[in-house]
């Protein structure tokens, strides 16, 4: 991916939150961060708050953030997994769950606060995939907000 863009940008807060029910047993819901053609996004900050499913007593739920829909480790920007009873969230520039990848605190802070440059354009999008492997349906709102710098591609 070769990105060429103008040096001027505007800040834009993109709300990818969703309250569509995600059934137990491995059901998924995916949100997509995709700028319009001719624009490039640079992620500045990501806010995530995904509650534990009400009434859950066993299992896990997780969030993949990746560049492609295969959601393989090599394409992941980050992955958060939590056991029942725990929310998935960002908290003080860190990923918050039972297991996070990458696990080093410095790497987490860099990813969430923009220390690592993460870009996407109309053909190289970023996907947020929530998977519910809990024993209760996820009926809560999955809050995902992304602050981006929006650039115009250079012609």
Q: What is the pLDDT of residues 54-100, one digit of tens each?
A: 999 999 999 999 988 877 777 788 888 899 999 988 765 555 555 54
Give Cβ neighbours of residue 149 (< 8 Å, ≥ 6 apart): 9, 10, 11, 12, 41, 42, 44
Closest by CA to 9, choosing from 34, 42, 31, 38, is: 42
Fold of the domain spanning 5-153: Jelly Rolls (2.60.120)
Q: Over 50: is that where the pLDDT of 102 sits?
A: no
> Among 35-39, 101-105, 120-124, 125-129, which is the least confidently predicted range?
101-105
Q: What is the mean pLDDT of residues 127-140?
A: 96
Residue 134 — pLDDT band, cuts 50, 70, 90?
very high
Q: What percent of the chain lies above the pLDDT cut of 90?
A: 58
CA distance 81 to 95: 10
Token representation of residue 38: 């001719």
CA distance 146 to 42: 10
Model pLDDT, residue 91? 63
Rounded to two decimals, the pTM is 0.82
> Among 67-71, 108-112, 133-137, which is the least confidently predicted range?
108-112
Model pLDDT, residue 145? 94
Summarize pLDDT for 5-34 with one digit per residue, the tens. 667 899 999 999 999 999 999 999 999 999
Model pLDDT, residue 48? 92
């Amino acid at each position: 991916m070769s990105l060429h863009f103008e040096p001027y940008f505007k800040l834009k807060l993109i709300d990818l939150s969703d309250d569509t029910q995600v059934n137990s047993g491995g059901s998924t819901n995916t949100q997509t961060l995709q700028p319009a053609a001719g624009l490039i996004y640079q992620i500045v900050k990501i806010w995530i708050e995904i509650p534990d499913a009400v009434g859950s007593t066993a299992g896990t739920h997780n969030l993949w953030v990746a560049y492609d829909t295969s959601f393989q480790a090599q394409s992941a920007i980050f992955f958060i997994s939590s056991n029942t009873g725990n929310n998935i969230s960002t908290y003080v520039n860190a990923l918050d769950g039972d297991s996070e990848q990458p696990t080093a605190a410095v790497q987490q802070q860099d990813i969430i606060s923009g220390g690592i440059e993460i870009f996407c354009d109309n053909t190289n999008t970023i996907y947020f995939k929530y998977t519910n492997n809990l024993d209760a349906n996820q009926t809560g709102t999955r809050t995902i907000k992304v602050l981006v710098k929006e650039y115009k591609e250079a012609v």
